[in-house]
Structure formats: structure tokens, C-alpha cells
Amino acid sequence: MAIERYDHEDIYPGGPTYVRAAKTGNTLYISGTTAKNSSYENGSPLEQLRVILDRITNIVSTEGGSHEDIISMTTYVTDMTKFWPIEGAQKDIWQHYFNGVWPTNAYVEVRALAEPNLVVELSAIAII
């Protein structure tokens, strides 16, 4: 099966050693996505989460899918106390993007992300 690789320069480009997304068959894999180079790069965790979910859903849409096609995510955070439990404003953000059609999701606390001002990173898989 052929593998197509995309950088999505207009949404959020890949890096020097990776592409933003790869598609094989009807499966789309999206690399770890952050709020880097956005106006919220230094923002709060929830501001960064909005930017990231916007970028991921736009990539899926560009590839012909919708939020309902996102079946799995991994959420990396530098401070779990700002993300768990999922309630209030964070729950509202997830509801805005997925409207109850939830992907699987693992929350993982990490010591740091690639840049010190980034506190959230998500990777995703969609079946389109």
C-alpha cells in the first residue's frame, strides 16, 4: 500500500526530520502538534489546546475528513494538574471540536516539550 506524506505548510508545517501527516489507505497519522508559531505559543494550556485542535481538525478536513473521523489521540502535557480532571473550560473545548463524537485519548505527563513555552502537544489518527 502506498504511503503519502504531507507537510501542510498552510496549516502547520512539519519539521526538519518529520512530516506533519502521513496517509496510507484510509488511515491518516498526524505528528505531534503544538501551538508553536501561533499567537498563543506563550498562552495558557487551554489557549494552546484550542490552537492545536484547530490545526488537527483542519488537517483532517484538508484530507477529506471531519472531526468524526479522528479515532485516536495522545495528549502530552507538562503539568497534569492543569488538565485533570477534564471539566469546565477544557471540557467545553473538547465538546466544541468533537460534539460528543469522542476519539480515544491518552493523557501523558511529560517533563518538557521541544520548546519551554509549549505545554501541550497532541498526535492523532483519523480514518477517512
pTM, two decimals, is: 0.94
pLDDT single digits (tens) 64-116: 999 999 999 999 999 999 988 889 999 999 999 999 999 999 999 999 999 99
Evaluate whether 120 touches 77 at the Cβ level (below 8 Å). Answer: yes
Domain with 32, as residue range(s), is 3-127
User: Distances from the Cα of 76 to the Cαs of 23, 33, 92, 93, 114, in angstroms?
Assistant: 22, 10, 19, 16, 12
Region 53-58 average pLDDT: 98
For the chain, how many structural domains are there in total?
A: 1
Q: Can you tell me whether residue 9 is helix, strand or coil?
A: coil
CATH number at residue 120: 3.30.1330.40
Residue 80 DSSP class: G
Tens digits of residue pLDDT in 14-25: 889 999 999 999
Long-range Cβ contact pairs of 86-89 (< 8 A, separation 24 or more): 89/46
Cα 87 to Cα 124: distance, rounded to the nearest angstrom: 21
